[in-house]
């Protein structure tokens, strides 16, 4: 019996309802279905009295989700998609992402197109697009305190009411550099259209094997976004006495103390997206961000009254 999974956002009634309907439909067609909410991929935030919130990457895989699954269907918005990949990327399970939210930048299609999407899925009429992910780890001395899979970006920034921070950043074997800013972002090509874009970083197409470093509100005209090979590792040392906060993909984070080290490298796991049509990144930029849309032509002449 073929086996598939469903990950859904149980805080959205439409996602919960559609997940149940989809489960029954696939079971009637001879599929074994396992279900889980996206909550398991939300790592949460540490608190002042609990500075470390540590769950090993492989421990986020839900029960009964394994390499035997042919695919999994995700019902939710971008946050649910990010959580689902943290849960399932270690198993290599490809995901069909269905938008029941708002922006849906990471989703393949909308919930009203789900019947057609499922038919293409069952007929194996799709492609798989693999996108790089990052492994983000926090060390104190040589002890691993916290880690997470990252599809979009890692952000380390100052807490409210603290002054500008300094960061010593070393990329690969290159000499460390000092950046004075409110924070820094290290992103994948997928994350180049997220927080990094808002911080002035360039858009990078998903097939380019790079990482991107972007300062947040830097205190220097020379501090600009940097794009470099994803074969390099990144180590960030807080060069400030203030406690900072690290956030991964917008929904998981921990405190960073002055003696800590953040280590970032390309993950051995990839995010495997099911594409029902050949991926066309510029089309997504046009539809979601309005990039490259034709301007309204000005009149060639104006008649005065």
Cβ pair 141, 210 in contact under 8 A = no
Residue 78 annotated to the active site: yes
State the Cα–Cα distance between residues 259 and 242, nearest whole angstrom.
11
List the one residue out of 147, 173, 169, 156 whose CA is nearest residue 267.
147
Residues near 70 by Cβ (< 8 Å), separated by ≥ 6? Answer: 2, 3, 4
**CA dist 236 to 59, 84, 154, 183, 213, Å?**
25, 27, 11, 11, 11
Query: Which residue in 66, 78, 125, 142 is the catalytic one?
Result: 78
Distance of CA 80 to the CA centre of its chain: 10
Identify the H or E element spanning 3.
strand 3-8
Residues near 95 by Cβ (< 8 Å), separated by ≥ 6? Answer: 7, 71, 72, 73, 74, 81, 84, 85, 88, 271, 272, 273, 274
- Torsion angles phi and psi, residue 24, rounded to 5: -65, -40
Alpha helices in the chain (DSSP H): 13-28, 78-88, 114-122, 195-198, 281-284
In the numeric block, the tokens 């050949």 are attached to: 278
State the Cα–Cα distance between residues 79 and 198, nearest whole angstrom.
18
List the one residue out of 303, 179, 302 whose CA is nearest residue 240.
179
Annotated binding site for NAD(+): 78-79, 152-153, 182, 193-198, 251
Distance of CA 146 to the CA centre of its chain: 17
Which two three-digit tokens encode residue 219?
A: 């205190």
State the Cα–Cα distance between residues 134 and 121, nearest whole angstrom.
28
Catalytic residues: 78
């Amino acid at each position: 019996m073929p086996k598939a999974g469903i990950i859904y956002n149980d805080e959205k009634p439409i996602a919960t309802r559609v997940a149940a309907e989809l489960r029954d439909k696939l079971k009637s067609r001879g599929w074994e279905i396992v279900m889980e909410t996206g909550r398991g991929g939300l790592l949460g935030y540490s608190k002042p009295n609990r500075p470390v919130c540590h769950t090993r990457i492989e421990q986020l895989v839900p029960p009964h989700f394994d390499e035997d699954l042919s695919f999994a269907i995700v019902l939710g918005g971008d946050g649910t998609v990010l959580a689902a990949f943290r849960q399932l990327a270690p198993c290599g399970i490809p995901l069909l992402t269905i938008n029941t939210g708002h922006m849906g930048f990471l989703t393949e299609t909308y919930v009203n197109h789900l019947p057609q999407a499922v038919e293409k899925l069952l007929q194996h009429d799709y492609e798989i697009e693999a996108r790089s992910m990052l492994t983000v780890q926090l060390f104190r001395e040589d002890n691993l305190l916290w880690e997470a899979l990252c599809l979009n970006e890692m952000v380390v920034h100052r807490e409210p009411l603290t002054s500008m921070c300094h960061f010593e950043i070393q990329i690969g074997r290159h000499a460390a550099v000092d950046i004075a800013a409110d924070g820094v972002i290290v992103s994948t090509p997928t994350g180049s259209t997220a927080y990094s874009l808002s911080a002035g970083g360039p858009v990078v197409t998903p097939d380019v094997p790079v990482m991107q470093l972007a300062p947040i509100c830097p205190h220097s005209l020379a501090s600009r976004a940097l794009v470099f090979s994803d074969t390099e590792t990144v180590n960030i040392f807080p060069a400030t006495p203030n406690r900072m906060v690290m956030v991964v993909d917008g929904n998981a984070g921990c405190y960073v103390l002055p003696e800590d080290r953040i280590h970032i490298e390309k993950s051995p796991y990839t995010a495997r997206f099911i594409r029902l049509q050949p991926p066309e990144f510029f089309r997504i930029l046009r539809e979601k961000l309005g990039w490259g849309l034709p301007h309204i032509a000005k009149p060639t002449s104006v008649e005065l009254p």
